[in-house]
Structure 1
Amino acid sequence: MLMPHPAVLRALVEEYEALTAADTPQTRARVQDVAYTLCVSTGTRDVGVALRTAKDWLAATETSDLAECPHPEEGPHVYA
């Protein structure tokens, strides 16, 4: 299964949480965009499930050597 780079996933989670905390008319469209991206990135259809999945994956990468990609410029990576 393809997984997003931990840094990208972390940025999406942080942005989603910051935008939903603000909850203004100006941020609502961006919230929808980030929610969609989180769902696609985690292979889910519900943003709540996507957030839990993303946080679980991030927690798992903190204890593995996957947290730091030695060559992020190489493009997408597959993590088993």
Structure 2
Amino acid sequence: MLRPDPAVLRRLVDDYEALSAADGALGSAEPSARARDLAYTLCVSTGTRDVRQALDAARRWLAATPRPASMAE
């Protein structure tokens, strides 16, 4: 299976988590359209059908991939 570029995957995870937190803070019962789009893209990128599984897979892949020196701090 092909894996997405780690930088792209990191951005997807970060954006999805930020939007999910914002939606939760607003008390939204439904995720925003952007959060749904990100969830779909994460699922496609990781070959899963559930966003929780997609996030788990993405985190495992990212943990196994060292961050570039410019991003590590």
Q: Are residue 20 (structure 1) and residue 24 (structure 2) matched?
A: no
More relative contact order, 1 or 2 (CA 8 Å, 6+ apart): 1
Equivalences, count: 63
- Letter in structure 2 aligned against 1:12: L
Gaps of 5+ in 2: 69-73
Please show how residues 39-78 of structure 1 align to structure 2 within 5 Å: 39-62=43-66
Instruction: Say which SS state the counterpart of residue 31 (structure 1) adopts.
Output: helix
TM-score (normalizing by structure 2): 0.80
Question: What is the CA–CA distance in structure 1 between the aligned matches of 2:11 and 2:50, rounded to whole Å?
Answer: 18
- Compute the RMSD of aligned alpha carbons: 1.5
| Equivalent position of 2:4 in the other structure | 4
- Unaligned stretches of 5+ in structure 1? 69-80
What TM-score, normalized by structure 1, do the two folds share? 0.73
Identity, % of aligned pairs? 65
1:8-27 Cα offsets, whole Å, 9 max, x none, are: 000000000000010056x7
Q: How far, CA to CA, are the matches of 2:58 and 2:45 in structure 1?
A: 9
Partner amino acid for 1:16?
Y
Deviating 4+ runs (over 4 angstroms): none
